[in-house]
Amino acid sequence: MRPACLLSVLALSLPPSGAAQGAQVEEWVRARAREQEAPLRAEAREQPKSEQLWRERPANDPGPPDFVPPTTLAPLIRAVRPGVVNIGTSNARGSSGGPSRSAGSGFIISPDGHVVTNNHVVDRARQIRVKLADGREFLAEVVGRDPSTDLALLKLQGEVGQLPCTYLGDSDNLEVGDWVVAIGNPFGLDHSVSHGMISAKERVIGVGIFDDFIQTDALINPGNSGGPLFNMRGEVVGVNTAIISQGQGIGFAVPINMVKELLPNLLVNGRLARGWLGVNIQQQGGAGAQKGAVVMDVFKGSPAASAGIRPGDRVTAVNGRAIESYLQLLRRIAILAPGTEVKLTVHRESKGREVAVKLTERPSPQSLQALAAAGRLDELGVVVRDLTPEIAQNLGSGPTSGVLVAGVLPQGPAEQAGLQAGDLITEVNKRRVQDVKGLRAALEASGQSQTALVRFQRGDAVRYVVIRLAG
C-alpha cells in the first residue's frame, strides 16, 4: 500500500482533535508508513540472481580496464604517412616495355632508401619508379625478392639524402581487437587510409608453407599490395598482401616479424636461401599435449647432429620465441639464411636447455628424398640401388654388375669426393661389389679404416676415388 493511501486511512480512523494533537498524529502515521514501505523497497533492490536476465554497468564504473577509446587518428597518420610510397612499374613485354602503371605500395625502412613491398608488385618489371609522399620520384632496383612469402626489398637510386622511414614493430604482441591502420594507393589513389582491427592471427589461407597471415578488416584493395599495416604506436606490424575477392572486410598481411627475419637474407643473397636443421619433426598431438615440435629423426652430418640434438627432443623456442607447432619451427628455420647461428630451446626428459645450431642451406628436393631413402649409406654419404637390367640398359651397353648411386647426400663424404648421382660403384677397397648387400659387406670388411678406395664408372670412363668415411 502506498504511503499516501496508508496515511489517509489512518487519519480517517482517528477522532478529530486540536492542531497540536493532529500534527503529532500525522507524524506518527508517516513513521508507520515508512516502516511498512521499507521491506517492499528492499525486496525490489535485492532481486534474486536467478531472476536477473541482464546486468547493467553502474554509473561510477570506469568500464573495461586499460581501454581508451580513440577520438581521432589524424596525428598518427600525419606522423607515418611520409614513410609510405607509391610504386609504379613498366613491364617487360616487348622491347619498349609498355606504359608505366601504378602497381602497388611500399614503405621505407632505412634513411638511405631501402623499401619493402610485395614481390608480385615488382615481378617482371622492366623499370620501377617510387614516388614519395612529398612528390619526389626515384628509380629503384630489386635487391632481393621471394615469391614464397611474396616479399621484395628495393633500393632507391641516385642522391636520396636522409629519407623519412617507418618504425618496425613486434607483430607477436598483436592481439585480436587491436586497432590498425592501412595506408596505400588503392586503384592508384595516392596515400589512401583505412582503419580497422586485427580479426585473427596465424591465418593459413593455402598459399604455401609460409602461411602465417594477420587477418584484418581494414579495407585492402588492389594497389594496397605491399603497403604497411600500422599499430596505434605508428609501427609497421604487417605488409598488406592478399584479399579475398568473394568477401568484404577480409584482408591479410604478412607479419612484420617474419619480414624482419627475411630481410637480411634478401639483402645478402638476393633470394630466400633457406636455412636447414637436418631433422624430421612431428607435431605434438592429443589433449593436454605439450607444445613444441618433437624430433623424430636426425640426419647424419647435419647441423642438428653436430649440435647434439637427438630423436625425442622437443623444440619449444627459436631464439627465445616460443614454438607451438612443427609448422612454426619449419617457418622460423627456413626463413633464416644459411650460416645463421640460432639458439634452440630443447627439452629432453623434462629438462630444458639452450642449444646453439649453425644452419646450412636446405638441400634440393631430390637430395631431401635421398636423405629419406631406404638405400642410404651414411658412412659413404650416398643412396644406392641394385643394378637391374632396365637400369643397365638405360646406362648403355657395358655394365652388367655394380651398385647405382641414386643420390648423394648433401655435404656428405661422397659429395666432397666428387661422386655424383648416376655413377656405378663396382669395387670398394679392391673388393668387387655386385649389389647393395655386397657393398655393405665390403664396407664392414674395412674394419676400423677411416677411408675407402672406391672404383666407379661414369659413362665410358672408369675412375678411382678415396672417400673419407663418416664416423
One pLDDT digit (tens) per residue for the chain, 471 residues: 555 554 454 444 455 555 666 677 778 767 777 777 666 565 555 555 556 788 788 888 887 888 777 788 999 999 999 999 999 988 755 444 555 666 799 999 999 999 999 999 998 888 999 999 999 999 999 999 998 889 999 999 999 888 999 999 999 999 999 999 999 887 767 778 999 999 988 877 766 667 788 999 888 877 788 999 999 999 999 999 876 666 566 888 999 999 998 999 999 999 888 888 988 886 655 444 567 788 877 887 789 988 999 888 889 999 988 888 777 888 888 888 889 999 999 988 878 889 999 998 887 766 666 566 556 677 888 888 887 776 666 665 455 678 888 778 777 788 888 888 888 899 998 889 888 888 888 888 877 788 889 999 887 788 899 998 876
**According to the model, what pLDDT value does residue 10 have?**
46
What residue type is 270 in one-letter code?
G
Q: What share of the chain is helix, strand, coil (3-state, %, to 5)?
A: 25, 35, 40
**According to the model, what pLDDT value does residue 396 have?**
57
Whether the Cβ atoms of residue 452 and residue 466 lie closer than 8 Å to each other: yes
**According to the model, what pLDDT value does residue 22 have?**
67
- CATH code for 73-271? 2.40.10.120
As a whole number of angstroms, the distance between CA 370 and CA 363 comes to 10
**According to the model, what pLDDT value does residue 17 have?**
53
Tell me phi and psi for residue 133, to 5 degrees.
Answer: -65, -25
CATH topology identical between 73-271 and 275-361: no
**According to the model, what pLDDT value does residue 244 have?**
66
Whether the Cβ atoms of residue 330 and residue 244 lie closer than 8 Å to each other: no
Task: Give how far Cα 424 sits from Cα of 382, 396, 419, 421, Å.
Answer: 12, 12, 10, 9
As a whole number of angstroms, the distance between CA 267 and CA 112 comes to 14
What residue type is 254 in one-letter code?
V
- Bridge-based pairing of strands 321-322 and 314-318 is antiparallel
DSSP state, 412? S
Q: H or E element: which one contains 153? A: strand 151-156
As a whole number of angstroms, the distance between CA 334 and CA 212 comes to 13
Helices (H) and strands (E) in the chain, counts: 11, 28
Domain boundaries, the chain: 3-39, 73-271, 275-361, 365-468
Q: How many CB atoms lie within 10 A of CB 88?
A: 22
**According to the model, what pLDDT value does residue 153 have?**
97
**According to the model, what pLDDT value does residue 6 have?**
47
Whether the Cβ atoms of residue 432 and residue 426 lie closer than 8 Å to each other: yes
> How many alpha carbons lie under 13 Å from residue 465 in its C-beta half-sphere?
22
Whether the Cβ atoms of residue 122 and residue 92 lie closer than 8 Å to each other: no
CA-wise closest residue to 152 among 317, 322, 323, 267:
267
**According to the model, what pLDDT value does residue 287 have?**
44
Grid coordinates representing 107 are 614503405
- Bridge-based pairing of strands 235-243 and 167-168 is parallel
Active site residues: 120, 150, 225
**According to the model, what pLDDT value does residue 314 have?**
87
CA-wise closest residue to 357 among 380, 378, 336:
336
CA 453 to chain centre: 47
| Domain covering 275-361 assigned CATH 3.60.21.10 in the classification | no
Whether the Cβ atoms of residue 261 and residue 250 lie closer than 8 Å to each other: no
Fold of 365-468: Pdz3 Domain (2.30.42)
**According to the model, what pLDDT value does residue 438 have?**
86
**According to the model, what pLDDT value does residue 237 have?**
96
